[in-house]
Chains A and B, each alone.
Chain A
Amino acid sequence: MPVKVDIEKEFYGRKHIKKKGVKPSFSMHCSFDADSDFVVLFGCSGSGKTTALRCIAGLENPDAGTIKINDTVYFDSRKKVNLPPQKRKIGYMFQENALFPHMNVRQNIEFGLKGLSSSAKAERVNEMLGLVGIEELELAYPDELSGGQKQKVALARALAPNPEVLLLDEPFSALDTVIRLKLRKELRTIQKRLGIPIIFITHDPVEAFTMADRMVVFDNGRVQQLGSPEDVFYHPKTRYVAELVGFSNLFDDAVVEGHGQGDECTFLWSLGTEITAPYIRRMAGDRVSWGVRPENIELVDSESAYAIRKEDRKNLLDGVIRNVVNRGTSRIMSLKLKDSGAVLNVEVTNHIFDSLKIGTGDECMVRIRPSDMIVF
Chain B
Amino acid sequence: MSPLLLTLKIASISTIFVTMLGILIAYVLAKREFTGKWLADVLVTLPLILPPTVTGYILVLLLGKNGILGGIFTKITGSGILFTWQAAAIAAFVVSLPLMVKTATSAIGAVDRNVEEAACILGRSEFETALFITLPLAKKGIIAGCVLSFARAVGEFGATLMVAGNIQGKTSTMPLSIYGAYQAGNNELANLLVLILIAISLITIAATSKLGER
Question: Residues on A close to B: CB < 8 A?
Answer: 57-59, 84-86, 88, 90-92, 94, 96, 98-102, 111-112, 114, 157-158, 161
Contact = CB atoms under 8 A, between A and B. Distances in A.
Main secondary structure of the interface of A (DSSP, over half): loop
Interface in B103-126: 112, 114-115, 117-125
B137 A85 contact: no
B51 interface: no
Given A85-B117, A92-B118, A101 B137 contact: yes
A161 B122 contact: yes
B122 A98 contact: no
Contact of B114 (A86, A96, A158, A161): A96
Contacts of B132: 111
Q: For this complex, into which size category does the number of interface residues on chain B fall?
A: 10 to 19
Residue from B121, B125, B137 with most neighbouring chain A CB atoms (10 Å): B121
Interface of B: 112, 114-115, 117-125, 132-133, 136-137
Given A98-B115, A101-B137, A92 B121 contact: yes
Nearest to B124: A86
Nearest to B113: A98
Residue from B115, B118, B125 with most neighbouring chain A CB atoms (10 Å): B118
Contacts of B114: 94, 96, 98
Contact of A57 (B112, B115, B121, B124): B121
A98 B123 contact: no
Contacts of A158: 121
A100 B115 contact: yes
Contacts, number: 54
A114 B124 contact: yes
A86 B123 contact: yes
A108 B91 CA distance: 43
Contacts of B115: 98-101
A85 B121 contact: yes
B112 to A, nearest CB: 7
A86 B120 contact: yes
A324 to B, nearest CB: 44
A100 B121 contact: no
B119 A111 contact: yes
8 contacts: A59-B121, A86-B120, A86-B121, A94-B117, A98-B112, A112-B123, A114-B123, A157-B122
Given A98-B112, A98-B115, A100-B115, A90 B123 contact: no
Contacts of A99: 115, 118
A59 B117 contact: yes
Given A94-B114, A94-B118, A96-B114, A102 B136 contact: yes
B133 A85 contact: no
Residue from B115, B123, B125, B133 with most neighbouring chain A CB atoms (10 Å): B123
Given A59-B117, A85-B117, A94-B114, A100 B123 contact: no
A140 B122 CA distance: 21
